Amino acid sequence: MPITETVKHLIIINVLIFLCMLLSIYPQALEVFGLYGFQDPNFRWFQLFTNMFVNGNILQILFNMYALYSLGSTLEHFWGQHKFMFFYISCGIGAGLISNVINQVFQINPISFVYGSTGAIFGLLIAFGFMFPEAGLMFFFIPYPIKAKYFIPGIIALDLVFSFGLGPIIHGDGRFEHIGGALVGFIMMSFWKKNQYKN
């Protein structure tokens, strides 16, 4: 499916910010726009929104932008621009908020620092699974498509294993952000699906 307008603009924003950091045009973008823990003196409320647009390394931005293109374009095509944007931003903000709340309440890391689009992307994964469970999805190192209803739970399960087994090594402070994005996506899709049946 060709790339849709909103997805194209989101990818451009993410890539431009990453290039500004990479080329030292605005090297402090990560520190300014990333999300600090509630107890950190650097925390600002706007970071709940901005952190989803800063990706820290080449692997993170490649994975996230590929997923945004392949999942997001399909969802935007069926939902339209406004509904897609509302869902994406909600998952991104919710991911950061849930991550900070978990770190704060359970005192895991009250001065955590998270960034990246992955929380919002995990919300898109959930939405795609709800809408197209039989669709085939490809991953970088898997040579054949796997049905979304198997692929998406598998990816989330792998992320959970890495988060709690190798979390500090693989994900750093962002381990709960992925879970948060998936949770927000699940709640929103469940509500929309229930509402659809009522109507």
pLDDT digit string (tens) for the chain, length 199 residues? 799 999 999 999 999 999 999 998 888 999 999 999 998 999 999 999 999 999 988 988 999 999 999 999 999 999 999 999 999 999 999 999 999 998 888 877 767 889 999 999 999 999 999 999 998 887 666 678 889 888 889 888 887 777 665 544 444 556 789 899 999 999 999 999 888 755 4
Residues 174, 80 contacting (CB under 8 angstroms): no
For the chain, how long is the longest CA-to-CA vector? 53
Q: CA 107: distance to chain centroid? A: 23
- Residue that is written with structure tokens 């999300």 in the block: 35
DSSP state of 191: H
Strand partners, 161: none
Q: Which CATH class is domain 5-198?
A: mainly alpha
The model's pTM: 0.90
Dihedral sign (CA 169, 171, 172, 176):
negative
pLDDT for the residue numbered 169? 42
Three-class SS state of 54: coil
Which two structure tokens, joined as six digits, stand for 139?
């991953």
